[in-house]
Structure formats: C-alpha cells, structure tokens
Amino acid sequence: MRSPELDAFPLILSHGWPGSVVEFLDVIGPLTDPRSHGGDPADSFHLVIPSLPGFGFSGPTREPDWDSFRIAGAFAELMGRLGYERYGAQGGDFGAFISPDLGRVDEDHVVGVHVNAATVGFIPFGDVEEATLSEFTDAEKVRFDRMNRFLSEGNGYFQIQGTRPQTIAYGLTDSPVGQLAWIVEKFKEWTHPSVGLPEEAVDRDRMLTNVMLYWLTATGASSAHLYYESTHSGNWPTPSAVPTGVAVFAEDIPIQRFADQVNNIVHWSEFERGGHFAAMEAPDLLVDDVRTFCHRVR
C-alpha cells in the first residue's frame, strides 16, 4: 500500500497466528495517508503487508524449515526487490518473532523494529530467581502471573501445533466449524477484556473474514506447521543492536528487564486497553505508538 506522500517511510507489517493480513485493515489508512485522517503527513508510511509463508495467500507451504528466521530472510529479499534501501519492521505474535529476526538478518537496511504481543526474547525463559521476583513492579507481577497461567492452562493449542500439527490439520481442513472454533477461542481468550465475548473487542464480520482466509486457502495445516518448525529449528533470539520499540497492551506479557537482554530497547509503551490483536482492538493506540517510535529512526 503506497502512501500518496512520496517521501513516506517504508514499513513491513507481519501478522501472527491466528491472524492474517486482515488484522491490519484499520491501520492502513492512518499509516499511509495521515493527512486524510487528521494526522501529520510527515508520519506517512509505504506499507508492505505480506501473508506469512504457510498462511492465506502465501500458502500452503510444501517444504520444511519455514521458521521465523527463514521467513525474515524471505521478507528481506522481498523488501530488497521492492527497492527499499531503508525500512522498518513491525509485528505482533509471530510477527514479533519475525520483525526482530528481520533486524538480525538485514541489519544494514532495517533501521528499526517495533513489536506488540511479544513473547520469546521479551519474557523470562526458565525459572526466575527470587531476588529478581522481589524487584518486580506491580505491572510486571501481573504479566508474569498471566504468562504462567498461559503456560499451565492456555497453551494446549501450542503443544499440538508444535508437536503434531499434521494431526490437527485434517480437522481444520475438513470442518469450517472446527477451523472457526480453533481460531475464535483465541479471540475470546486474548482480546481485552478476555472475560467478555470476543465480538465485544473485535467486529464479528472481521473475525469471520480472518478465519475465511484460513478456510478458503486450506492453510490450517501449513500455518500450524510454523509452530513445529519454530520449536524444532534451534533458532533462538541472539543479541541485536537494531533500535527496538515495544508496545505493551493490556493482555500482553513482555517485561522490559528481560527484553533488554537481547534487544536494543529504545522505546517502551504500556497501555490499559487493547489486547493481543492490537491492530484490530486498539488501532488508534498502535498507530500512534508506531508513529512515535519511527520518529526516532526514520
């Protein structure tokens, strides 16, 4: 999506699972054409919004090893072929794996990385020492408890897709109701507030459009395989010098003291609303945070 402003800043947006390019429909206008949306034309972006390999229009994939690191390499090639010498990367969920990896594989061209719904590389890995726990702020304690509840009660889908993706694939491809339930459960649990119906946070037609992309392209299997490839690749976040911004929405779990260990954090925002699907739930907050961060790097 090219901006009408010729000097707009190129930005690649990466979705996650169970999202799609549909996630970004409400942020395209404000980001590409702020002049028409009450904003400053100096904050305009040329957007590149690919379906992840194995998802929607970029699937199904038919070979192994499509983890976040390989996807980042493909996206670097994409941006190069489009002629973008300097660009930023933004993403949530698996997009928050891919965008930092894009900074690692293409650091000569990626001038900044912005993430939301971030996990690995932005949260503790393994046990946390009591001395560190005692230093937690109230907000960090809430996020740490939320993370532990997810690991004990909320990651059954992760275990299945990370270990037996082909088994669940038959049901996802055979039943539209099965595919719908598999995805909408996550909209129920990960939107804010999670105690309500998911359509209280995200428009029902928008959720159906998102699920439709999985169903019509038969990518329930190949999208699930991203979990298998990522958990078996052995690729873990390594220290990155690329300037990184983090938006923490109300249902997110990043903790800065752990994010600082492998990322060059130059921007950190925390919000009291919005959840995992920030571009759908709180597009105004996400747009403003992306603009603020990119002022530092563009």
Residues annotated as part of the active site = 93, 227, 276
State the Cα angle at 99 between 51 and 190, rounded to 5°. 70
Spatial separation of the C-alpha atoms in residues 235 and 231, rounded to whole Å: 8
Query: Smallest Cα–Cα separation from 168: which of 219, 119, 204?
Result: 219
Q: Give the three-class secondary structure for 67.
A: coil
Q: Give the three-class secondary structure for 66.
A: coil
The structure tokens 């938006």 sit at 247
Rounded (10°) CA dihedral 83, 85, 89, 95: 50
Q: Give the three-class secondary structure for 264.
A: strand
Pair 168, 161: CB distance under 8 Å: yes
Spatial separation of the C-alpha atoms in residues 178 and 184, rounded to whole Å: 10
Where in 224-282 does DSSP place strands (E)? 243-248, 264-270
Spatial separation of the C-alpha atoms in residues 177 and 235, rounded to whole Å: 34
Identify the helix (H) or strand (E) that includes residue 47: strand 45-48
List Cβ neighbours of 264 (8 Å cut-off, separation of 6 or more): 240, 241, 242, 243, 244
Pair 92, 276: CB distance under 8 Å: yes
